[in-house]
Amino acid sequence: MKRTSSLAFRLTASAAAVSLVLLIVAGLLLGKLFQDAVERNFDARLQSVLDGLLGSVDIGADNQVVLSGTIADSRFKLPLSGWYWQITPIDGTPAEGLKSESLLEQRLNPQAAQLADRDANNIAHFYISDVKGTRLRAIGTEYTLFDAGRYSLLVAGNFDELKTEIAAFQGALFIVLGVLGIGLLISILLQVRYGLTPLRTLENELAGIRQGRRELLSEAYPSEIAPVADELNLLIQSNAEIVDRARTQVGNLAHALKTPLSVLANEARLSNSDLAAKLGAQIGIMRNQVSLYLDRARRAARAQTLGSSTNVRETLDALARTLMRIHMERGINISVDCQPGVKFRGERQDLEEMVGNLVDNASKWANRAVRIDVRPPTVDPVDGRSWLEIRVGDDGPGLPANKLHDALKRGHRLDETKPGSGLGLSIVSETAAMYNGTVTLGKSELGGLLARVRLPAVQGK
């Protein structure tokens, strides 16, 4: 369905259909023109016989029609050869007529309507069959021969002899038209491919912008597409400006709220009343909520930014070194397995936040080892986008299967003895969702918990 609805298919199919109709019409027209030419040539041969017959006819002593000469063509003497002539009296003329030896005892009997349709030279042209069923091309006319009366002169030839010539021409014509049709189809395909090249370039450049390999569309487009490319560039720039303004407003809001909250918190700490204690607790909740939603807004703004991309290997190596120093006292080893050149289609800060939370959580529960494994990007057959999967596993105690889902809930802590707020995994899940990604938990090959994050990747390098 997708292929048949494409512009290339529509242009190719419509052009091929028009070309096919034109070639069929041209074939029929050329075939008809050739047959008419053959008929005219054949009629000219018959006309020469008719002229010779008229030059040889004479009136005998008994007022009968006789020939003073003979027809040179020997086919008029072979019995039922398909080549005949006859002279027949009309209008009650009492004289007997003449006929070629090839007719034997037979006569050609054309219809009156066939003889009535005559050209400017008073000659009728028509088809007729002999007793053998041979199709004949005939010409006929009427003459008054001296004082002997009025006679009908008819000359016919075997038109079936030309069937082979006509069939050979039609066969050659179909072959030539077939080759021409194939050539036209190839030229149509090349023309459509060449003509739609700017659209494919536009598609590739838009994909490059979405995947972080480009910032704007190029300007080398035909005049018909250039306005669209210019508008898209303006739209991309406008989107970037909106995101920047949103980031600025989020930052301004954060600063505007932090100062009043800090003042209220300080005032609450200076008082020992129950009201001050309750106010301090609520201010702490307000701070957490403000930080939560401001962080969420910042992450959402970054996720919607076009053209951003992050080198996964460099980011993960830096995270591994930092977290190993943090957990140096416990001797946690963090290994990274990632192919060079793999890129995440998003902001580096978001990737650091997601993987950092996962690795930090794994380091807290691990006995000795944490492994970060990045699977090579694959193309989803459904949406056609490229996705990568980051796996973080540890050799700790892991989680029972019935508690894996609860671990992703905001603020849910499975063990109060471990430091943290319980927001790490939920932040990872929310940030991944902003990129249409997913987070799933399972059992690691090392024996502990395995966290799998599916994120959009940059296609190509």
Contact 362, 449 (CB under 8 A): yes
* Whether pLDDT at 399 is above 60: yes
Six-digit token pair at 161?
């002899």
DSSP string computed for 286-309: HHHHHHHHHHHHHHHHHHT-TT--
What pLDDT score does 316 carry? Answer: 92
Q: Is residue 182 pLDDT above 80, yes or no?
A: yes
Taking the domains of the chain in order of start, what are their residue ranges?
A: 7-165, 226-303, 310-456
- CA distance linking residue 77 with residue 184, whole number of Å: 52
> For residue 458, what are the contacts with CB-CB under 8 A and spacing of at least 6?
211, 212, 213, 309, 343, 344, 345, 377, 386
- Please determine, for residue 314, whether its predicted confidence score (pLDDT) is greater than 70: yes
Please choose, from the candidates 223, 192, 198, 162, the residue with its C-alpha nearest in 3D space to the C-alpha of residue 34. Answer: 162
Q: Where are the beta strands (DSSP E) in 75-173?
A: 84-90, 98-99, 124-129, 135-144, 150-158
pLDDT, greater one: 283 or 353:
353
- The answer, yes or no, to whether residue 75 has pLDDT greater than 50, is yes
Higher pLDDT, 66 or 190: 190
What's the length of the chain? Answer: 461
- Condensed to tens digits (0 to 9), the pLDDT of residues 341-364 reads 888 888 888 888 889 989 998 898
Class of domain 310-456: alpha beta
Output the pLDDT for position 422. 44
Res 186 pLDDT > 80: yes
Question: Which pLDDT band holds residue 420 (cuts at 50, 70, 90)?
Answer: very low
Q: What confidence tier does 453 reach under pLDDT thresholds 50, 70, 90? A: very high
**What pLDDT sits at residue 306?**
54
Phi then psi for residue 135, to 5 deg, are -80, 125
**Cα dihedral angle (306, 311, 317, 318), rounded to 10 degrees?**
-50
Percent of the chain with pLDDT over 70: 85
Q: For 76-123, list the strands marked E by DSSP.
A: 84-90, 98-99
| 205-240 pLDDT per residue, tens | 887 777 667 778 887 888 888 888 888 888 878 877
CA–CA distance, 167 with 164 (Å, rounded to integer) = 5
* Distance from C-alpha of 254 to C-alpha of 246, rounded to nearest angstrom: 12
CA distance 94 to 37: 40
> What is the reported pLDDT for 371?
93
Output 321 or 417, whichever has higher pLDDT.
Answer: 321
pTM above 0.85, yes or no: no
Which has more pLDDT, 289 or 372?
A: 372
Q: 362: closest CA among 452, 289, 293, 301?
A: 452
Q: d(Cα 83, Cα 331) in Å, to the nearest integer?
A: 115
102-129: average pLDDT = 87
* Rounded Cα distance, 312 and 350, in Å: 12
Contact 390, 455 (CB under 8 A): yes
Q: What is the pLDDT of residue 408?
A: 67
The 3-state secondary structure of 258-273, one letter per residue:
HHHHHHHHHHHHHCCC
- Asked if the model's pLDDT at residue 38 lies above 80, the reply is yes
Task: Kindly state the average pLDDT of the residues 422-438.
Answer: 77
Q: How confident is the model at residue 421 (pLDDT cuts 50, 70, 90)?
A: very low
Residue in 363, 372, 361, 351 with CA at minimum distance from that of residue 431: 351
How far apart, in whole angstroms, are the C-alpha atoms of residue 359 and residue 425? 10
For strand 333-337 and strand 369-379, is the pairing parallel, antiparallel, or unpaired? parallel
Q: What order do you get walking across the sheet with 438-443 strand by strand?
A: 333-337, 369-379, 386-394, 449-456, 438-443
Q: Alpha-carbon distance 245 to 248, whole Å?
A: 5
Instruction: Confirm or reject CATH 2.60.120 for domain 7-165, answering yes or no.
Output: no
The pLDDT value recorded for residue 419 is 46
| Band of residue 286 on the pLDDT scale cut at 50, 70, 90 | confident
Rounded distance between C-alpha atoms, residue 57 and residue 201, angstroms: 83
